[in-house]
Amino acid sequence: MTLRINDTAPDFEADTTEGPIRFHDWIGDGWAILFSHPKDFTPVCTTELGTMAGLAPEFAKRNCKIIGISVDPVESHVKWKADIASATGNDVGYPMIGDETLAVAKAFGMLPSDAGASSEGRTAADNATVRTVFVIGPDKKIKMQMAYPMTTGRNFNELLRVLDSLQLTMGHKVATPANWAQGDDVIVVPAVSDADAEAQHGSFERKLPYLRMVKQPG
């Protein structure tokens, strides 16, 4: 199954370190980030989950829940938490899905369809494609997705930047330019007329006939 931006994220039921969930119900009316890792008790993954735990308050400020997933059992996740805290200084308080049947990983296209039906005996190398991130909006649609090689730890501050950009677009009909950061000027989307842009933002700078820049809305 190939998922694309603006597809509805698959709904599913799963066991997690915080108890059973139904994914869409768990998301509720806010945003969510589903991020996967190849294997518990591995070095890159340990740094990643600890980093995400440290950034959890920043995602909460943006009304965004975070949830991790691997094909390891929930019991393994629970035991691993102590190592994550020891290595990174951050306690994992967000839920971690135990996807032992590989059902969720396959539904989201993280593993090939012929990957088998069980996590038993699988190594991190077998799960190399499971270092994926999905940003999901309040409408349960996929707004962004990224896949990383198993040797490259992700930049979770980039997820915050993308989330900020998506929320600006939803709330103010603006886009963000390359290398945009909080506070930088933003772009008026082409669907907004000059008159509406002036009414909304007061004024804009026309750099090209199709490129209009404004101050970031508050």
Catalytic residues: 45
Amino acid identity, residue 213? M
CA distance 13 to 23: 6
